[in-house]
């Protein structure tokens, strides 16, 4: 079973998009989409708890917290389910081969309309994911099953947890949609770029940041800047080329019928190299600024106990102010002719 079972429920989730539905027997498989898209976000425990109550015979009463969460889940379920079923809804396999349905009152859509609907559903699905995660984050204490899940731990371990947060530090095209492609790279950047410089404890201090003062918030902003630029650098290196059954390929010219890609084509190698070098440089600059700010905050005696303990537990305790470094020439001896 699934969180959506009737026409009424799916229309409530997407009222304008699905206003013409009338036959329960033709509803798609919402359960498959929920396992594919919803469970990886909220975990099996939270999903099974809600799904079990809704589909029990008789149905069990939901708590106020579950009632508040359910619309967010159903909206995401409906969007992804219809997105996955667009192809089979447009064409059917019959005894006479592949056919499409058309009536006098409901003619077939044009190609550009199909693509527009597909792109809109994709954008709305990613937006619904972002809204769901934000709702859960803001009401975390109300959903202990989610809070204890591996799925929550995966998002909570990131210094940048949402597409909105990423977009605030580096502008993205369709940030919610792009974030889930960048998530794995953010994890790599934290592990390979941020953690060696700050240490595990200081990185964790900023990842789990709550009620930071103004100085600590400014440091966190610099770290997020460094993370986003480094992530974009890695994305430029890895995501421009795709490996599949056809081998290594690159993006072709934009689709002229899609307003999102019309007039756009792949960047040439010099532009890619320029972008990669700029992001590498800017990431390093923000990281240097962040470390300098942490050093001044700590050495100035204004650091909070939690910050100081994290600072002292890692490599930052050996940080040397660049302004005090010398070349060592004052200790060298030599002859001059």
List the domain boundaries for the chain: 1-91+107-156, 157-314
Report pLDDT for 111.
Answer: 79
147 with 133: CB under 8 angstroms?
A: no
For residue 300, which phi and psi values (nearest 5 degrees)? Answer: -80, -5
Burial of 3 (0-12, 13-18, 19+ CB in 10 A): buried
pLDDT digits (tens, 9 = 90+) for 239-264: 876 666 667 666 655 555 555 555 55
DSSP 170: S
- Sort strands 92-94 and 97-99 into parallel, antiparallel or unpaired: antiparallel
93 with 35: CB under 8 angstroms?
A: no
Rg (CA), the chain: 26
- 26 closest CA partner among 119, 88, 76: 88
Report pLDDT for 246.
Answer: 66
54 with 93: CB under 8 angstroms?
A: no
pLDDT digits (tens, 9 = 90+) for 135-190: 998 899 999 999 999 989 888 899 998 888 999 999 987 787 788 888 999 999 99
First to last CA, the chain: 91
**Averaged pLDDT of the chain:** 85
Whether 311 shows a pLDDT value over 60: the answer reads yes
**Distance of CA 65 to CAs 2, 41, 96, 160, Å?**
19, 18, 50, 26
Report pLDDT for 179.
Answer: 85
Least confident of 189-198, 215-224, 236-245, 277-286: 236-245
C-alpha dihedral sign at 199, 158, 224, 298 = negative
Residue 324's H or E segment, with its range, is none
Report pLDDT for 333.
Answer: 60
Average pLDDT over residues 29-41: 92
Chain mean position to CA 20:
33
């Amino acid at each position: 079973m699934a969180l959506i079972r009737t026409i009424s429920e799916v229309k409530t989730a997407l009222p304008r998009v699905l206003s013409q539905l009338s036959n329960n027997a033709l509803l798609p498989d919402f359960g498959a989409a929920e396992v594919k898209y919803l469970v990886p976000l909220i975990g099996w425990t939270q999903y099974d708890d809600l799904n079990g109550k809704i589909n029990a015979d008789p149905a069990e009463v939901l708590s106020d917290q579950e009632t508040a969460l359910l619309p967010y889940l159903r909206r995401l379920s409906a969007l992804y389910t219809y997105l996955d079923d667009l192809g089979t809804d447009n064409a059917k396999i019959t005894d006479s081969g592949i056919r499409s349905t058309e009536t006098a009152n409901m003619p077939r859509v044009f190609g550009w309309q199909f693509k527009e609907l597909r792109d809109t559903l994709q954008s709305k699905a990613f937006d619904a994911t972002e809204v769901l995660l934000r709702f859960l984050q803001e009401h975390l204490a109300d959903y202990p099953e989610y809070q204890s899940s591996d799925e929550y731990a995966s998002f909570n371990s990131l210094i940048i947890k949402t597409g909105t947060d990423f977009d605030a530090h580096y502008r993205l095209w369709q940030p919610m949609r792009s974030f889930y492609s960048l998530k794995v790279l953010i994890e790599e950047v934290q592990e390979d770029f941020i953690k060696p410089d700050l240490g595990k404890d200081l990185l964790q201090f900023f990842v789990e940041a709550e009620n930071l003062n103004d100085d600590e918030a400014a440091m966190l902003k610099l770290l997020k800047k460094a993370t986003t630029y480094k992530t974009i650098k890695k994305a430029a290196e890895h995501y421009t080329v795709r490996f599949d059954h056809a081998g290594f390929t690159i993006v072709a010219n934009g689709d002229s019928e899609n307003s999102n890609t019309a007039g756009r084509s792949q960047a040439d190698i010099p532009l890619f190299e320029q972008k990669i070098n700029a992001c590498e440089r800017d990431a390093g600059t923000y990281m240097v600024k962040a470390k300098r700010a942490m050093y001044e905050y700590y050495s100035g005696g204004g650091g909070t106990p939690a910050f100081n303990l994290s600072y002292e537990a890692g490599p930052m305790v050996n940080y040397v102010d660049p302004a005090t470094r010398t070349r060592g020439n004052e200790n060298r001896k030599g002859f001059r002719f």
